[in-house]
Amino acid sequence: MLYRLKTDFRLSIITLLGVSGLLGITPFAVMRFVQGNVKAGFVDVCILLGVSGGVIYAWLTGDTRRSGYFMAVVSSYGAVLVGTIVGDPGLFWLYPCLITTFFMTPPRAAIAINVSAVGLMVIIGEAFRSQVQMWSFVSTALVVSACAFVFASRNQDQRRRLEHLATVDPLTGVKNRRSMDEELDAAAASAERTGISHALVILDIDHFKRINDEFGHTAGDEVLVDLIALLEQNTRRSDQLFRFGGEEFVLLLAGVDGDGLKAVLNNLQQTLRKYLKSPGGPVTASFGVAILRHGESVGSWLSRADDALYQAKESGRDQIVFSDELMHQAQFQPT
């Protein structure tokens, strides 16, 4: 439970706001029933049920987007109903809603919900004792919404930047090991569901340490950047490329196997031989390939590709080795 709250920002916000709403609204709901204001008490109970339902739905399904929208609409329009029933004391309930909508929905959606809630409050008009009070409320509500919009927009931009930094390799611009783990899990699940073939290719630049030692790390970095450019130019947009570590990269290819996969990899090998260069001359790469098997774990899949890469290195480098071919050779190797 604590892990989910730490790793899922929106779920933690929804949970916090849900608990705050329950603690804040429940006493007023009880008080209104005691005072005989059944209508207002009933609205409070409906808001409590809506907020509770949104939190429970988010926890059970992980769908924080829908639950966030639902809770924002319930709380905002519920506040409008409370203001209409109890008069100007109910106006204060809309202010926290104007802010919390920006935590539960995207900024533009929050603006739409806030403007419509304030507009509905004005149209009904039951909560205001005078025109001055009404326009004062409208002005302050718009100021609160504008400030919350600026804060939420900046927060959203910062979160996107942090997510980018956390998932993208800064040198090459491709996804890093963390992103790879997530995408491989998704690919394995997709393969089980759809039956579409998925191939994993680990490629390693041959003699990369020698390039760094003889010509410096700047030259090595340029080779890495050139490698990424060549790979992206010669693979499909749907193919995914990750930096596995150092000079090792991983290609995730969906919907290719057999002769088609061999043709793709042979083309990549020839392209690197022809165009990838360092100050010391042409640069080659070794490839280890594994096609995902039915029911296989991601760890096993990755390990088979890594074993194939090791064999490619041991066979003299600048080789393409398929894991299935290794197993076939091992099965028929004389004892």
331 phi, psi to nearest 5 deg: -70, -30
- Name 221's Cβ contacts closer than 8 Å, sequence gap at least 6: 171
- Name 215's Cβ contacts closer than 8 Å, sequence gap at least 6: 278, 279, 280
Hunting for tokens 């394995």 — which residue is that? 188
* CA dihedral sign, ordered 230, 231, 234, 240: negative
Picking from 96, 117, 115, 105, the residue whose alpha carbon sits closest to that of residue 153 is: 105
Catalytic residue among 222, 247, 296, 314: 247
Known catalytic membership, residue 192? no
Q: How far is the C-alpha of 288 from the C-alpha of 320, rounded, in Å?
A: 6
> E strand or H helix at 293, and its extent?
none
Instruction: Specify burial of residue 131 (Cβ count, 10 A radius: 0-12, 13-18, 19+).
Output: exposed
Q: How far is CA 20 from CA 51, 60, 69, 100, 236, in A?
A: 10, 20, 17, 11, 49
> E strand or H helix at 130, and its extent?
none
**315's torsion region: left (phi>0), alpha (psi -120 to 50) or beta?**
alpha
Picking from 195, 197, 163, the residue whose alpha carbon sits closest to that of residue 182 is: 163
Query: Which regions of the chain does DSSP assign to beta strands (E)?
Result: 198-205, 240-245, 248-254, 277-278, 281-282, 285-291, 320-322
Catalytic residue ranges: 247
